[in-house]
Chain A
Amino acid sequence: MIRTLPNSKTYLAGYKFFIFIFFLFLFAPLVITMILAFNDSMFPSLPWKGFTLDWFFGDGPDKVGLFHDKINLRGIATSFKTAVAVSFFSTIIGTMAAFLFEQEDFKFKGALYFLMIAPLVIPGVILGISILLFSNALGIFLEDTLGIYFKFLTPSFWLVVIGQFSFITTIVTMIISARLRKFDRTLEEAAFNLGANKFEVVWFITLKFLRPSLVGGAAIAFLMSFENFNTTLFLIGSQSTLPINLYQQVRDGSTPVINAISFILILTTSIIAVANLYRGKKEI
Chain B
Amino acid sequence: MMMKYKPNKIRWSFVIFFIPVALWLFLLIVLPHLELLRISFTSSGTNGFTLTNYKAFFTEPIYWLTFVRTALYSMFVTAIVLVISLPVAFYITKVASIKTQGLLMVLILVPFWVSELIRVYGWMILLRESGVLNQFLVKIGVFKQPIELLYNDITMIMGLVYTSMLFMIVPIIGVLGSMDDALIEAAHDLGAKKIAIWKEIIIPYTMPGIMSGSIIVFMLVLGSYLTPKLMGGKNSLWFTEQIYNQIIIYFNWEQGSAFGFLLLLLSSLIIWIALKVTKQEFRKVIK
Contact = CB atoms under 8 A, between A and B. Distances in A.
B212 to A, nearest CB: 9
Instruction: Tell me the dominant secondary structure on chain B's binding face.
Output: helix
B118 A125 contact: no
B32 A269 contact: no
A115 to B, nearest CB: 5
Contact of B29 (A32, A44, A103, A166): A166
B35 A133 contact: yes
B259 to A, nearest CB: 9
B1 interface: yes
Interface stretch (B18-26, B46-54, B58-66, B203-211): B18-26
A5 B184 contact: yes
A273 B112 contact: yes
Contact of A106 (B14, B114, B131, B263): B14
Contacts of A174: 287
Given A166-B24, A229-B225, A262-B118, A129 B247 contact: yes
A169 B21 CA distance: 10
Contact of A269 (B25, B107, B114, B230): B114
A106 B13 CA distance: 12
Interface string A92-134: 1100110110011110000011111111111111110111111
A269 B95 CA distance: 29
Interface residues of B, number: 98
B97 A3 contact: yes
Given A5-B185, A29-B123, A243 B243 contact: no
Interface of A: 1-5, 12, 15, 18-19, 22-23, 25-30, 32-33, 36, 43-47, 92-93, 96-97, 99-100, 103-106, 112-127, 129-135, 137, 162, 165-166, 169, 174, 178, 185, 188-189, 192, 197-198, 202, 223, 226-227, 229-230, 233-234, 243, 246-247, 250-251, 258-259, 262, 265-266, 269-270, 272-274, 277
